[in-house]
Structure 1
Amino acid sequence: MAFTRATGKHRGPSRTARKTRNLAGIATLAASGVVASVASPALAATDEAHGQDTGLQQAVVLGDELASRVEAQADAQQAAAELAALEAKAEAVAKQQAEEAKRHAEEARKKAEEEREAKERAAREAERKRLNTFVAPIAGSYVSTGYKASSGLWSSGSHTGVDFHAASGTSVQAVGTGTVVEAGWGGAYGNNVVIKMNDGTYTQYGHLSSIGVSVGQQVTPGQQIGLSGATGNVTGPHLHFEARTTAEYGSDLDPVSYLRSHGVDI
């Protein structure tokens, strides 16, 4: 019966396979008693086998060394890749932390700026309110002679202002924010100060024992402008206070109504 082989490329048996078959054949011959008749050829075959065995061992050793080197190289490459991954991760974390720190710093800066601006606005508002605030010309005093009171003591026949009770030397203060337009002797008013207020009205303070401001000076509510006294046409120490539409005599307003309209409890 004929045997056929499938078409295609076939490789011959390896050296190891050939060596194995040779050794198996020698073993079979020895068992059948044929070894003696073919001693010389067998010895030759044995020597050849030893030679082949030595080459195979060398090949195996070289293969093992090459495999070890390849494995070591692969391990080194893997370690380098893992290190690079760790470094990249650490760099990403550091970048994220830096960005977060920058964001927090920016938020803190904006918050501080907002707080500063809020404080400045509050301070400006407080100053605005203070400058727009009015006070009594003498703290804790009261009106001893009212507006338009009749008497021969006044050339007009009536009182053009009000008198505040005050002992000589009592502090006299500006009732609001304004500019001094007169500071000196005022005839029947004695030593007097006239202030143009920020709202365009005028206030006058008469019979002062001393004056503490000068013309052109800016004054604020509650600022001392002089001391009460008894200079000019008076019967005793007190403060004569007037509210006017102009700086001149005869443009007087009701001083009590004027102060009350600006929030002064009097």
Structure 2
Amino acid sequence: MAFGSRGTGKHRGPSRMTRKSANVAGIAALATTGVVGSLAGPAFAATDTHSQGPEDTGLNAVVVADEVSGQIEAQAEAQQAAAEIAAAKAKAEADAQARAAEAKAKAEARAKAEREAKERAAREAERKRLNTYVAPVSHSYVSTQYMSGGGMWSSGHHTGIDFHAASGTSVHAVGVGVVVEAGWGGAYGNNIVIKMHDGTYTQYGHLSSIQVHVGQTVVPGQQIGLSGSTGNSSGPHLHFEARTSPEYGSDIDPVAYLRSHGVSL
């Protein structure tokens, strides 16, 4: 009986050497794809030629490894995308908050500047109001000067100035002040005395009509009465005095007083 090479019959399974070669090929394929691990184990374990199911050639491990690798890569990409979206959202929210804070700060700064401007304007208006003086009779002139001598005055001289004015002419407060006297004043006839905001006093005499009362605050140019010729008077006019107190005898030069407050006479 001659021995020679043994051919594989029609129903004969591959030899152990053939299966081993296939497994080696599977391992090489795994190495080529970079996937080496426990998944390649079945290629070495399948040595039984009579085992159930299809023979494992090693390619199954490659397919499984590729699927797992793809799933892991897809999951990593999804996580990376989610992280990028979250970061972008957080940055957008932070930017929005920063813009809102900046807008709020600017609005508050504008409001503060507007308030300060209004306060300055109000203070300036009040300063002007307090420092504004007018002549007691509009479009008139001084008919009798201060300190003029004559027997018609009990002191021997004129303690104020007279403004030319027909009876019933409007008489104005020369500045801001409070009325401290309004009524009959003896030789002055119907008269008004006002304490000015700077502590000085002004007097308006020989009035035909009084239109204010004691305690009333008056402003520059406000009508306080009408001129006349009541009291010790030779004819209709306005007697005006400037004083350091409400009492007779504390008179000062009324022309200088008015001019020092910007009134042209």
Q: TM-score, normalised by structure 2?
A: 0.76
| Structure 1 residues 140 and 49: alpha-carbon distance in aligned structure 2, compared to 1, 3 A threshold | farther
Distance 2:134 2:75 in 1: 89
Does 2:130 match 1:101? no
Q: Which amino acid aligns with 1:225?
A: I
Does 2:201 match 1:202? yes
Q: What is the match of residue 47 of structure 1?
A: 13
Moved more, 219-228 or 206-215: 219-228
Q: Which amino acid aligns with 1:168?
A: S
Q: What is the match of residue 131 of structure 1?
A: 130
RMSD: 2.5
Q: What is the match of residue 39 of structure 2?
A: none
Q: CA deviation at 1:88?
A: 0.9
Distance 1:169 1:65 in 2: 119
Give per-residue Cα distances to partners, 1:73-104, cap 9 Å, x unaligned: 31122122122112212211221221122122
Structure 1: 5+ residue stretches without partners: 1-33
Q: CA deviation at 1:130?
A: 1.6
Distance 1:182 1:142 in 2: 25
SS at match of 1:56: coil
Q: CA deviation at 1:206?
A: 0.7
Alignment of 1:50-69 (within 5 A): 52=19, 54-57=54-57, 59-61=58-60, 63-69=62-68
Alignment of 1:208-223 (within 5 A): 208-223=207-222
Q: CA deviation at 1:153?
A: 3.0
Distance 1:65 1:227 in 2: 116
Q: Which amino acid aligns with 2:178?
A: T
Q: What is the match of residue 256 of structure 1?
A: 255
Give per-residue Cα distances to partners, 1:25-73, cap 9 Å, x unaligned: xxxxxxxxx77xx45xx2178523699574235x523531442233023
Structure 2: 5+ residue stretches without partners: 23-53
Q: Which amino acid aligns with 1:56?
A: D
Q: What is the match of residue 71 of structure 2?
A: 72
Contact 2:207 2:229 in 1 (8 A): yes
Q: CA deviation at 1:135?
A: 1.7
Question: Among the aligned pairs, what percent are the same residue?
Answer: 56
SS at match of 2:91: helix
Q: Which amino acid aligns with 1:128?
A: R
Does 2:147 match 1:148? yes
Q: CA deviation at 1:229?
A: 2.0
Alignment of 1:9-28 (within 5 A): none
Moved more, 150-159 or 140-149: 150-159
SS at match of 1:249: coil
Contact 2:130 2:197 in 1 (8 A): no
Distance 1:106 1:49 in 2: 86
* Larger helix fraction of residues: 1
Compare CA radii of gyration and give the structure with the larger one.
Answer: 1
Alignment of 1:79-94 (within 5 A): 79-94=78-93
Q: Which amino acid aligns with 1:47?
A: G
SS at match of 1:175: coil
Q: CA deviation at 1:132?
A: 2.2
Q: Which amino acid aligns with 1:48?
A: P
Q: Which amino acid aligns with 2:56?
A: L
Distance 1:43 1:227 in 2: 148
Q: What is the match of residue 13 of structure 1?
A: none
Q: CA deviation at 1:113?
A: 0.6
Q: Which amino acid aligns with 1:204?
A: Q
Distance 1:60 1:245 in 2: 121
Distance 1:49 1:260 in 2: 135
SS at match of 1:81: helix
Q: Which amino acid aligns with 1:94?
A: E
Q: CA deviation at 1:112?
A: 1.6
Distance 2:251 2:72 in 1: 108
Number of residues of Structure 1 aligned to a counterpart in Structure 2: 228
